[in-house]
């Protein structure tokens, strides 16, 4: 993959139908490319997520999730970034995956991609991801943090809320 393609380490490359997939440059040689995903790939940065640890990226991430829900595929969070996830309204999750299936959330691995749950919880329940009647949902290579929540209600702020008929394939 990527044979003969010079690029900086960390660069992204999409190959056409013969050897389809998204690749990341992993070494100095022109042939040092690693397949990131062979499925449909929704990069949150392409939807406007800043990943700067300050800007609320929830709307951009939600757009990527919405497209992944329509087509099935991977919501990708590039490395070296902290994606801030606020919330709307009382007891509302940051991301409601109710009824969705065949979505993979992929980060760049340990120390690479972090989702930071933020905002004033004002003593109410806060959830990063709500899952209800979902199937084949995967989370891989992401770091989750609720360090950005203020005034949390003890025992009521969660990363995941699984309600009914939930199939999380894996969390790595």
pLDDT per position as a tens digit, 6-39:
666 555 555 544 454 566 666 667 666 666 555 6
Residue ranges, the chain, pLDDT below 50: 1-2, 16-18, 20
CB 8 within 8 A of CB 22: no
Residue 117 pLDDT: 81
For residue 70, what are its two tokens? 């329509």
Residue 60 pLDDT: 93
Residue 160 pLDDT: 77
Residue 18 pLDDT: 45
Residue 25 pLDDT: 65
* DSSP conformation class of 90: T
CB 85 within 8 A of CB 75: no
SS3 69: helix
Residue 150 pLDDT: 75
């Amino acid at each position: 993959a990527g044979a003969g393609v010079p690029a900086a380490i960390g660069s992204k490359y999409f190959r056409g139908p013969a050897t389809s997939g998204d690749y990341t440059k992993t070494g100095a040689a022109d042939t040092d490319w690693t397949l990131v995903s062979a499925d449909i790939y929704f990069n949150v940065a392409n939807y406007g997520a800043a990943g700067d640890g300050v800007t609320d990226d929830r709307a951009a991430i939600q757009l990527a999730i919405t497209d992944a829900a329509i087509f099935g595929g991977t919501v990708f969070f590039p490395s070296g970034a902290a994606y801030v996830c606020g919330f709307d309204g009382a007891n509302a999750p940051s991301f409601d995956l109710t009824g969705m299936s065949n979505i993979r959330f992929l980060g760049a691995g340990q120390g690479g991609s972090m989702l930071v749950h933020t905002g004033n919880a004002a003593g109410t329940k806060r959830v990063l991801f709500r899952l209800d009647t979902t199937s084949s949902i995967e989370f891989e290579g992401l770091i989750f943090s609720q360090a950005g929540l203020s005034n949390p209600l003890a025992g009521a702020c969660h990363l995941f809320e699984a309600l009914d008929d939930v199939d999380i394939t894996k969390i790595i």
